[in-house]
Structures are given as C-alpha cells and as structure tokens.
C-alpha cells in the first residue's frame, strides 16, 4: 500500500473527489486529440486515461502529477511508427502497444536499479530546445486538420511545402470552425482570466473558467456540425465512430524484429519521459513543499506504460496541462487521479458515442493552443545572454528536431549537453591569488588589491582534475612560472578540486620533479578529505617537495615568514 494511502486524511476526500470529476470532464477532448495526433483511434486516448493512471497513482511519488496521453509522446509515437505502418491500422496499433511496453520496461528497469539521476543527462536549454522544436512539429501536423486538407511529408520542410500547395483547396466550413475555435481558445488563454479578475471574480474561479472553456468550445463545435450537418454535406472531418466499452486486457510479448525496430525509439522515449516526468514532478513538489523520489517516479511511469500496452496501446507520460488542471481543480493526493480514471470508465462505457461528430478542426485548434506556449523563445534568449554555448545547445537541439526528426534531434541534444559539459570541464578557471589585507581571505590578483609574497605564487584551480583538462592546467602553470622568474614556491590551492584521476596524479608528480630541478618547491593547500585520502596512497604524496597545508592562509603565514628570513 502506498504511503499516501496509509496516511490518508478524511478531510482531503471531498477535494480529491471533486478534482477527479472535474479533471475527467476537462481531459476527455484532450485525450481524443492526442490519440489522433499519435495516429491512433480516438478511443485509445480514453483507454490509456484509465488503468495507466491508476498504476502511476499507486507507484509514483508525486501527489498531484497527472499521467496520460501527452503531446510530446504522441508526436514521437507518430514520427516513429508512421514509416513502419499505416496510421490507425491494426499493425500500427500493435506497434504502438509494443513501443509502450518496451519503453515502460526500460523505465521500470531504470527505476529498479536507481538510475533516476540520469534525468540530469540533458541540460535545461537542451530540454527546452527539444520541446520547442517538437511543439513546432505538433502545430504543423495539426494545421492540415485546421484547413481541411491532406498534407504529408517525411520532414518539416516537406510538410510545410505540402500545406502551402494545398492551401487553395482549403474547405471554407472547416476553416471557419477551426479558426473560430483557435481564436476563441487563444483569447481565452491570454485574456479571459485577467478580465474576470477585474470584474471581481476570484483568481481561483477565473482560472477554473479558463480551464473549462476548451470543453465549451468542443461542445459548441460539435453542436455546429450537428445543426448544419456539416460533416455529411460540407466535408467537415469529424472524429467518427468511437468504440464504446472497456478495452479488453491483451497480454503479449513483442517479436524480436519488432523490438529491434523500436529499441532506439523506445530508448529516446524513455529518456524524454524520464527527464520530463521527474522535472515536472519536482517542480510541482517544490510549489507544494513536498518531496518526490526520482526512482519512484520512474517505477510509476514505467508501470503506467506497461499497463497502457495491455489496455489500449499508447505511450503515456506526465502531462503539464493535465497536471495543471489537476492542481487547479484542488487535488490533494493521487486519489484524485484514481477518481478521474474511474470516472473515465463511465465515459468509455456509455458516453463515447456522443463524441463521434466532434470536428477534427476543433481538436486541432485545442492542440495548437496547447502546443504554442511550449515554444520557449524566452529560454533561448536567456540562455544566449548568459552563455552562448547554452544558446547554441538550444538552437542545435531545436534545429535538429525540425530538420532531422525527433530521434536525431534528441540525440543531438545529448551530444550537445555532453559536449558543453566536457568543454567547460576541459577549460577550468585558474587564478593567481593573494590575501586580502587584514583578513584570511584570498582573491584573484587581477580583481582585488591583495598581499603577495616575493618568490611565492599561489594558484587556485577551480575544477576537478582529469585527463581532459590537464593540458590547460599545465599550460597555465607554466605560463605563471615563466612570468615569475625567481619562484621559490608554488602553492596549489585545491579548495574546488573534488576529484583527481590517475592521469592527474601522474602529471602532478612529473610537475613536482620538474620544479625540484629549478629548484622550486610544490605545495598543496585546502585539499579535500576524499582527494587527500587517495593522494596519500600515491607516489606524489611521498615525493612532494613541499608541504600540504590545511588552508591557504596557513601556507601564506609560514612561507611569508620563511621569505622574510631570506630577505633579512
């Protein structure tokens, strides 16, 4: 039994029940839309809003995160599977289930062996660039439904060219419904809450009305189609037949060839799901002053995807909009998600047929409005202003997604993240330091007025030492020694050195021998305990020509006295 259920307090029950019912109403159109975005029958979006949600609620650690069909996993599913089978076909549905099962198994494995820290493989600019590029793909994929045309292509530019070619063939009724829905939802999203607040409506109620408006737009769009018989006489595309009834449990194991075809895509989906889910869960927990367990999140999300494979067959993830709706509706614990899942059973069992004449243009409008804020140009601007390398990582990832596709795009993002990390680690900040007069603090001689000792050079290395940055360290130390021709002592202040690999120890041992020939003594100061524990078992420790000082100030005092005696 999960901890939240063991410690459940009765006073939270009313809020959780209400939140669960509200979330059900609000996410039905969204679930249909994301299933269609993934190239699957619309009812699949409803199916995976039931048992996978319950699985996550029982195993995950977040109190309010809501799992279900989401835009990123939907567009990734379509991008991966559409070259392998016709969207909506039996083969396509089977592949979607296999993809969900494989990615779920990977997430379960990562959670079981406690690999939650892998979510840090991607930097924030890379994540933002990937999501922004994906959002552009989502918007482009839905524009055809907004115009009532058929536009396909193997990449972004082909889809864009197809849309431009098909533009003269746009269907006026479809465009009218789609643009009306798009403008209404955009205005609601940007201005309705503020207008209601100015009229005296509380901010909580105003936010709830804004959340409810997509449902109202869907209802009005459906009524317009029914009233004008627009689907039968004017070519307005609708959802069509939605199968009623609960999905049957269908256990299967994917064939070897299927696993081979999907393993890379499943790995990418696992990484994205891991990063997105953990990041979102942590953000929600911070706002509520709660804690989340990254490994429990992986177990919960993995179980949800495995269950989704057997009950419907669509990969799921932690949804930003679903979670926001859950929080706004007043959810207190995962019981709200369980209530929502049970309520969805009622929708699937007896109300799905009411969704058959829902126009695709309205669903496309809702997806576009939801995807547009995901294009985070502000993150690009801030990253570029702070560090051009981060800005280039954002641009490279987003560009990779748009030019080469989602899989290569995120692969490029991982390479850029690792490349940026290695670049920074291989070019450590190194400063010649001196003592601030009247204190025990040491600062960069180029930034502050400091005390120095003739013939003694204090150098602070602000990075762990490994084979990749030793060339830069050696070069800088040699430059400083050349600038100071009568150096009797070199003190390496290692307060920022957390690790030294075997190569670093060997290089410093060689430096110690070279300095002894000058003769110049090599001293170490402020060596951290774990680093010193290893150094004590190395040849460098036994052969060190100088001393190991507890602090830079202790070295300054002793070497200063020695220099004074020499000068005297």
SS3 string of 258-326? Answer: HHHHHHHHHHHHHHHHHHHHHHHHHHHHHHHCCCCCHHHHHHHHHHHHHHHHHCCCCCCEECHHHHHHH
Same domain, 402 and 436: no
- Write out the H or E segment, with its range, that includes residue 488: none
- Cα separations in angstroms, 189 against 136, 283, 352, 370: 19, 22, 27, 9
How much is the pLDDT for 481? 86
Pairing, β 521-525 against β 317-318: unpaired
Q: What is the pLDDT of residue 458?
A: 96
The pLDDT score that the predictor gives to residue 154 is: 67
The DSSP bridge pattern shows strands 67-68 and 430-435 to be: unpaired
* Closest CA relative to residue 28, chosen from 357, 343, 373, 310: 343
Q: Specify the pLDDT at position 244.
A: 84
Q: Is residue 385 part of a domain?
A: yes
- Inter-axis angle of helices 13-37 and 320-328, nearest 10: 160
Q: Is 264 among the domain residues?
A: yes
Q: What is the number of structural domains in the chain?
A: 2
Q: Is residue 5 part of a domain?
A: no
Count Cβ neighbours within 10 Å for each residue of 107-142 and write b for 16 or more, e otherwise: bbebbeeebbebbeebbbbbbbbbbbbbbbbbbbbb
pLDDT attached to residue 192: 79
Same domain? For 59 and 172 the reply is yes
- Which of 167, 139, 142, 137 minimizes the C-alpha distance to 155? 137
| Alpha helices, DSSP H, located in 48-89 | 51-59, 71-81
Same structural domain for residues 181 and 312? yes
Of 420, 439, 471, the position where a domain reaches its end is: 420
Picking from 363, 387, 420, the residue at the C-terminal end of a domain is 420
Q: Is 198 in the same domain as 232?
A: yes
Identify the bridge partners of residue 493 per DSSP, sorted by sequence position.
460, 525
* Other Cβ atoms closer than 10 A to 334: 29
Residue with tokens 């070019």: 427
d(CA 176, CA 178): 6
**Segments forming the whole domain that contains residue 473:** 430-567
For residues 525 and 491, the answer to whether their CB atoms sit within 8 Å is yes
CB 111 within 8 A of CB 295: yes
Per-residue pLDDT in tens (0 to 9) along the chain, 568 residues: 888 999 899 999 988 998 898 888 878 888 998 999 999 999 999 999 999 999 999 999 999 999 999 888 998 999 899 999 999 999 999 999 999 999 999 999 999 999 888 877 778 898 889 889 988 988 998 899 999 888 777 678 888 888 889 888 888 999 999 999 999 989 888 887 788 888 888 877 787 777 778 888 989 999 999 999 998 888 899 988 888 888 888 888 899 999 999 999 999 899 888 888 887 888 788 778 888 899 999 999 999 999 999 988 899 998 777 787 788 778 899 999 999 999 999 999 888 888 889 999 998 998 888 888 889 999 999 999 999 999 999 999 999 999 988 878 888 988 888 888 888 888 899 999 999 999 999 999 999 999 999 999 999 999 999 999 999 999 999 888 888 768 899 999 999 999 999 999 999 999 999 999 888 999 999 999 999 999 999 999 999 999 999 999 999 999 999 877 665 5
DSSP string, 211-246: HHHHHHHHHHHHHHHHHHTHHHHS---B------SP
Q: Is residue 138 part of a domain?
A: yes
Residue 3 domain-assigned? no
In a domain, 182, yes or no: yes
Do both 368 and 471 map to the same domain?
A: no
Shortest CA distance to 208 belongs to which of 197, 219, 222, 220?
Answer: 197
Structure tokens at 136: 């552009």
Question: d(Cα 11, Cα 20) in Å, to the nearest integer?
Answer: 15
* Domain match, 392 and 468 both: no
Q: Do both 270 and 293 map to the same domain? A: yes
Task: Report the CATH number at residue 523.
Answer: 3.30.750.24
Q: Say yes or no: 162 and 294 in one domain.
A: yes
Query: By the 8 A CB rule, do 462 and 494 touch?
Result: no
Instruction: State whether 108 and 187 are in the same domain.
Output: yes
Same domain, 402 and 455: no
Q: What six digits make up the tokens of 337?
A: 């998600």
| C-alpha span between 265 and 254 (Å, rounded) | 15
Angle at 396 between CA 390 and CA 398, to 5 degrees: 105
pTM over 0.85: no
H or E element, residue 456: strand 456-461
At 97 the pLDDT is 96
Q: Which among 397, 420, 443 is the end of a domain?
A: 420
Residues β-bridged to residue 434: 443
CA distance 497 to 524: 11
Domain assignment of residue 550, yes or no: yes
What pLDDT sits at residue 566?
Answer: 60
200 and 157 within one domain? yes
C-beta of residue 522 within 8 angstroms of C-beta of residue 490:
yes
Query: Which token pair is 392?
Result: 């280039």
Domain identity same for 155 and 254: yes
Domain assignment present for 1: no
Pairing of strands 430-435, 442-444: antiparallel
pLDDT at 567: 56
């Amino acid at each position: 039994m999960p901890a939240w259920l063991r410690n459940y307090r009765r006073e939270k029950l009313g809020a959780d029940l209400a939140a669960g019912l509200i979330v059900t109403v609000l996410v039905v159109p969204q679930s249909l839309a994301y299933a269609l975005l993934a190239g699957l029958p619309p009812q699949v979006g409803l199916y995976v809003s039931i048992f996978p949600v319950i699985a996550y609620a029982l195993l995950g650690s977040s109190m309010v995160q809501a799992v279900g069909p989401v835009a990123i996993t939907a567009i990734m599913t379509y991008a991966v599977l559409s070259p392998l089978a016709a969207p909506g076909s039996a083969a396509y549905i089977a592949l979607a289930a296999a993809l969900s099962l494989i990615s779920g198994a990977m997430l379960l494995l990562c959670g079981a062996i406690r690999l939650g820290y892998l979510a840090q493989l991607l930097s924030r600019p890379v994540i933002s660039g990937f999501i922004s590029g994906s959002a552009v793909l989502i918007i482009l994929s839905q524009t055809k439904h907004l115009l009532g045309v058929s536009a396909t292509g193997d990449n972004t530019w082909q889809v864009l060219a197809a849309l431009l070619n098909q533009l003269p063939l746009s269907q006026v009724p479809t465009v009218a419904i789609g643009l009306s829905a798009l403008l209404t939802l955009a205005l609601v999203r940007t201005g309705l809450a503020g207008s209601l607040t100015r009229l005296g409506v509380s901010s909580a109620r105003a936010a709830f009305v804004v959340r409810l408006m997509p449902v109202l737009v869907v209802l009005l769009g459906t009524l317009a189609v029914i009233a004008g018989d627009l689907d039968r006489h004017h070519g307005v595309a609708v959802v069509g037949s939605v199968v009623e009834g609960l999905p049957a449990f269908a256990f299967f194991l994917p064939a070897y060839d299927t696993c081979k075809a999907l393993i890379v895509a499943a790995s990418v989906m696992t990484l994205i799901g891991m990063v997105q889910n953990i990041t979102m869960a942590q953000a929600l927990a911070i706002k509520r002053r709660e804690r989340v367990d990254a490994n429990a999140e992986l177990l919960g999300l993995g179980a949800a995807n495995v269950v989704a494979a057997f009950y419907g067959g669509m990969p799921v993830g932690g949804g930003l909009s679903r979670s926001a709706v859950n929080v706004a509706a007043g959810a207190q614990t995962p019981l709200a998600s369980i209530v929502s899942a049970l309520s969805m059973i009622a929708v699937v069992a007896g109300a799905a047929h009411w969704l058959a004449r829902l126009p695709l243009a309205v669903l496309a409008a809702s997806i576009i409005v939801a995807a547009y804020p995901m294009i985070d140009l502000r993150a690009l601007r801030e990253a570029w202003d702070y560090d051009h390398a981060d800005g280039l990582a954002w641009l490279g990832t987003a560009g990779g997604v748009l030019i080469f596709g989602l899989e290569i795009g995120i692969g490029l993002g991982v390479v850029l993240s690792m490349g940026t990390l290695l670049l920074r680690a291989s070019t450590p900040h190194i400063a010649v330091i001196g003592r601030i007069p009247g204190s025990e603090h040491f600062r960069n001689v180029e930034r502050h007025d400091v005390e120095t000792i003739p013939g003694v050079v204090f150098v602070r290395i602000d990075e762990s030492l490994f084979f990749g940055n030793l060339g830069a360290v050696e070069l800088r130390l040699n430059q400083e020694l050349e600038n100071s021709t009568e150096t009797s002592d070199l003190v390496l202040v290692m307060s920022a050195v957390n690790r030294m690999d075997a190569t670093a120890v060997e290089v410093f041992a060689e430096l110690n021998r070279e300095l002894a020939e000058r003769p110049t003594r090599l001293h170490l100061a402020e060596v951290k305990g774990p680093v010193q524990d290893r150094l004590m078992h190395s040849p460098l420790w036994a052969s060190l020509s100088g001393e190991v000082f507890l602090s830079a100030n202790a070295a300054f005092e002793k070497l200063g006295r020695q220099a004074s005696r020499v000068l005297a």
